[in-house]
Copies of this chain bind each other. A is one copy, B any other.
Amino acid sequence: MSTTNSIEIDIQKAATSKISQIDFENLAFGNIFTDHMLLCDFADGAWQKPVIKPYEPFLMDPSSRVFHYGQAIFEGMKAYKDEQDSVWLFRPEENFIRFNKSANRLAMPSVPEPVFMDGLKELLKIEQEWVKKGKGNSLYIRPFMIATGTGVIAAPSSQYRFMIILSPAKSYYSGEVKVIIAEHYSRAANGGIGAAKAAGNYSGQFYPTKLANEKGFQQIIWTDDATHTKLEEAGTMNVFFRIGDTLYTAPTSERILDGVTRKSLIELAEREGLKVEVRSVLVSELVEAVQNGTLKEIFGAGTAAVVNPIIGFSYQDVYYELPPTENSYALQLKEKLNNIQYKLAEDTFGWTVKV
């Protein structure tokens, strides 16, 4: 691996590594971080020199805009290690572009590509020991940006901090997932920020999800807020429905995040000769399909788990369970996508990028 930087990064190495204390076989998602983080401040109208330094807390003023007005965005991606110990990213350009789309929607400055991409690669080179080999293992990557400018005025900040932190992850198994179809609460407004990976989109889902959890459901499938008739997406996953032998997923919109996994699965499915239709699926269609036996699968699609099969859903207080899946599209597609990500199959799409 080369250590040449395309941008100058100030690198301050940690004196010791905590990697030997980590039990890589028993990792809960998202709460252990590697030795270093990347940090780049925006001030006086310009991005300052990026720094890679030991992972540690930093000082924030109580009036920092992120605390009061939620000016904060993030991305979620993963690094994978192949059998030859090379580290790979999956479609990182998509995350970079989406990050700056989110930034624009929240009136935050764009992060320059070298800061995001070269910064990330440099950080990954330093932390390569944290990326474990073997299917299911990965290093979860969390780029984010927060408004660090001070003052309790509801207006965009003039200072920001871009950061990348890394968290080792095991294969994600969420157990049997049952969902509730949203009838009252909503995730996003027409003309709102639902298509951005904005911090404010998530906290609003916690309370309705808590109510769902109390009823024995793990997640909510959100519907359009105006009519609650169209199926949209889940908390951190886009959603696919297999009715008969066709896969359906909602078109992306201002209300729906344009997921990298979703778009990759669509392309993969099409290459595999599966029928995919990108169109709104009505709740009524779903109920009809489960009743007449044509609803074969529902699954979430996102970076964390690739696919997350859903075994049943509740709507208007009736619980509908799906029949046992034969010949699951979800699992086939997951396998194919994972094989590309772990370099176990040829990447004919050109999706993988070596660090």
Contact = CB atoms under 8 A, between A and B. Distances in A.
A227 B206 CA distance: 27
A199 B67 contact: yes
B207 A203 contact: no
Chain copies in the assembly? 2
A200 interface: yes
A167 B152 CA distance: 9
A283 to B, nearest CB: 15
Interface in A118-149: 140, 142, 144, 146-147
B203 A31 contact: no
A153 B225 contact: no
Given A191-B184, A206-B107, A151 B225 contact: no
By secondary structure, the A interface counts as: loop
A62 B189 contact: no
A24 interface: no
Nearest to A57: B59
Interface string A258-282: 0000000000000000000000000
A192 B67 contact: no
Contacts of A198: 70, 200, 203-204
By size class, the interface of chain A is 35 or more
B70 A72 contact: yes
A37 interface: yes
A67 B62 contact: no
Given A66-B67, A189-B186, A106 B155 contact: no
A30 interface: yes
13 contacts: A30-B151, A62-B163, A62-B165, A63-B165, A68-B72, A68-B202, A69-B203, A70-B201, A70-B203, A71-B203, A152-B165, A152-B167, A225-B226
